[in-house]
C-alpha cells in the first residue's frame, strides 16, 4: 500500500538530519535505534518480511522449511555484518536476534529429519513439538528478562556512581 513508499520518501527527505532534535521529535519512531549511516535499515527489515511471506507461500513443505531457514540465516548474517543498531542497550537487540535465530533454526531442521518415519512423526507431533515450543519460549523470555533487568541494574549503578561523584564535587 501507501506505507512503504511514504516511509522511503520520509527517509530520503530527512536522511541528512535524522539525528537532529527536530526530526527525532517529529519522526523518531521511524528512525530510532539505528546509526546515522544505516537510516534505511527499516526498509531492509520490510524486505525481510516480504521474503519470508514469499517463502511461506510455497506448497511443498521441505522447500518452504529450507527457504525459510536460508532466509533467516542470510538476513542474520547481513545484520551481524552491518551491525546497524546504535548499541543503546549494550547490543540487546542483537543478542535477542541470535537467540531467536537458534530457536527458529532448531525446529524446522528437526522436522526435516523426522518427517519420513511415521512412528517418529507421532512422537514429534505429540511430545517433541510442544515441549520444544514451551522450552524455547521460556528460554527466550528468561533471556529477555535477564537482559532487560541487567540493563536496568547497569543504568542504576551508573546513576548511583555519578550522583556520588557529584556529591563529592559539591562538598569540595
Q: Over the stretch 110-143, which tens digit does the pLDDT of each residue have?
A: 555 555 555 556 666 666 667 777 776 777 778 7
- Ranking 51-65, 70-84, 103-117 by mean pLDDT, the lowest is 103-117
In order, the DSSP letters of 18-86 are TTSHHHHHHHHHHHTTB-GGGTTHHHHHHHHHHHHHHHHT-SSHHHHHHHHHHHHHHHHHHHHHH--B-
**pLDDT > 90: what percent of the chain?**
0
Taking the model in full, what pTM does it have? Answer: 0.48
User: Between these two residues, 38 and 112, which has the higher pLDDT value?
Assistant: 38
Give the domain ranges of the chain: 1-86, 87-172
Average pLDDT value for residue range 137-164: 73
Backbone angles phi, psi at 34, to 5 degrees: -115, 150
Count of Cβ atoms closer than 10 Å to residue 54 Cβ = 11
Amino acid at each position: 500500500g501507501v506505507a512503504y513508499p511514504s516511509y522511503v520518501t520520509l527517509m530520503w527527505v530527512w536522511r541528512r538530519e535524522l539525528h537532529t532534535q527536530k526530526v527525532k521529535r517529529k519522526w523518531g519512531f521511524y528512525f530510532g535505534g539505528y546509526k546515522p549511516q544505516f537510516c534505511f535499515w527499516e526498509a531492509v527489515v520490510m524486505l525481510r518480511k516480504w521474503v519470508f511471506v514469499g517463502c511461506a507461500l510455497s506448497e511443498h513443505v521441505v522447500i518452504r522449511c529450507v527457504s525459510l531457514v536460508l532466509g533467516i540465516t542470510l538476513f542474520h548474517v547481513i545484520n551481524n555484518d552491518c551491525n546497524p543498531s546504535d548499541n543503546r542497550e549494550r547490543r540487546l537487540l542483537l543478542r535477542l536476534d541470535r537467540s531467536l535465530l537458534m530457536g527458529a533454526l532448531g525446529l524446522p531442521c528437526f522436522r526435516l529429519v523426522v518427517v519420513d518415519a511415521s512412528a517418529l512423526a507421532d512422537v514429534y507431533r505429540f511430545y517433541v513439538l510442544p515441549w520444544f515450543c514451551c522450552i524455547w519460549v521460556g528460554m527466550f523470555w528468561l533471556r529477555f528478562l535477564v537482559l532487560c533487568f541487567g540493563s536496568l541494574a547497569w543504568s542504576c549503578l551508573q546513576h548511583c556512581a555519578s550522583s556520588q561523584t557529584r556529591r563529592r564535587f559539591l562538598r569540595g
